[in-house]
Homo-oligomer: A and B are copies of this chain.
Amino acid sequence: MDLGAELHDFARMLFPICRSITGNGIRETLRLIGERIPLKTFEVPSGTQVFDWTVPKEWNIRDAYIKDSSGEKVVDLRRHNLHVLNYSAPVHATMLLSELKPHLFTIPEHPDWIPYRTSYFKENWGFCLAHNHLASLRDGEYEVFVDSTLENGSLSYGECYIPGQSSDEILISCHACHPSLANDNLSGLAVATFLAEHLSGHNHRYSYRFLFIPGTIGAITWLAKNKETTSHIRHGLVLTCIGDRGSFHYKKSRRDNAEIDRAAEHVLKHAAPSSKVLPFSPYGYDERQYCSPGFNLPVGCLMRSVWGTFPEYHTSADNLDFISPESLAESLSVCESILDVVENNFCYKNLSPFCEPQLGKRGLYHTTGGHSPDQQINARLWILNQSDGTNSLLDVAERSGLPFSLLKNAAELLKNGGLLELIDPKQE
């Protein structure tokens, strides 16, 4: 079975679960992720102080509907998880449509789509529905019923740690709290899970830490409980909205020119020329927390279409058709290429720095003179020329315009030929 289809199937399996920032939906999601990768789950009690925030009460929902005066369920959670305002407090009442309306959310510009709305930190109840649907409701009395609980419990998150040669870490983070939205963020969960799966079987320089967490409060909770651990983080990526058919977007870390920023920019330039690199901004996904000034971690955010810029964002149209197997597979491949750059971004030293070494006698040069060099030879010459001990392979890739992978192979060849040595690989 091909990788894209497998990724899409994984998203499909997670789609029906009614997730939120706490409760059984995210627990079940973590359990299913844990069937593929070694995932450790954590439960942080409601009321725990995490920096300026407090872990909220746990929310669970069994049922929610609006019945008209004839007893028909005109809005029903069982038809779509988005129908309930996420974190809705319990309610059971009868009221006129006019009284109900302040609790109903629609999108007039897309009258057939159900919006996704939340009220985590202000107690409220409500329903979300298509605008045309609302327009069809007649005046009169309605029974509203939200069978939810908002009680002391805990916030759940999952962590998958894959040790590497060094205790220096790469952080991969994605939010796991959105109900029945495919691009935002089942795409991220699927790609991150498969990435962890692929890495588990291989030798690598860095240790990897994958976080599957509720957005905002989950990242804040993790950072509050792992402040010391963050000193090991050398590079990081937030993965979100990477399953749709749009071009890639990479949003840089607050540092603006971190190695992960340069690696992502390099890979996208070569692998996906229509991609765009965006400057850092303090709104977005959990890079907001990782890049807060107290942490200032080198964490960027990889997306395809950018949140808020595509109409399907945070609506029922962000469904399984909105993401494609091909896009998911390509996103996974781009992630692997970016990680390949930081894994292999070593500094080499030319051991024959005075003039060019004679590549020809080592079989590393064309033997008939008079024509132009190919890219292989170009890569060798660039590395030899720039490897004065101050330039990493990514530096050489940026200056030469050559793809990192070509340079990586050339460096290996030159090292094996005794022309290069690795500088302090532990430091790298």
Contacts and interface: CB of A to CB of B under 8 A. Distances in A.
Contact of A289 (B120, B355, B382): B355
Contact of A119 (B279, B295, B368): B368
A384 B353 CA distance: 44
B53 A388 contact: no
Interface in A374-418: 377-378, 381-382, 384-388, 399-400
B360 A122 contact: yes
Nearest to A52: B357
A293 B356 contact: no
Contacts of A388: 293, 296
Interface string A262-282: 000000000000000001011
Q: Which 8 A-B pairs have the closest CB atoms?
A: A294-B353, A294-B354, A282-B385, A118-B369, A293-B388, A282-B381, A52-B357, A122-B367
18 contacts: A51-B352, A52-B352, A53-B358, A119-B368, A122-B367, A124-B367, A223-B355, A254-B385, A281-B382, A283-B373, A283-B378, A288-B381, A289-B355, A293-B350, A293-B384, A295-B355, A308-B372, A314-B371
Chain A interface helix/strand/loop/mixed:
loop
A170 interface: no
**A interface residue count range (under 10 / 10 to 19 / 20 to 34 / 35 or more):** 35 or more
B387 A354 contact: no
Contacts of A372: 283, 308
A342 to B, nearest CB: 24
Contacts of A25: none
Interface string A102-143: 000100000000011111111010000000000000000000
A119 B372 CA distance: 15
A360 B354 CA distance: 57
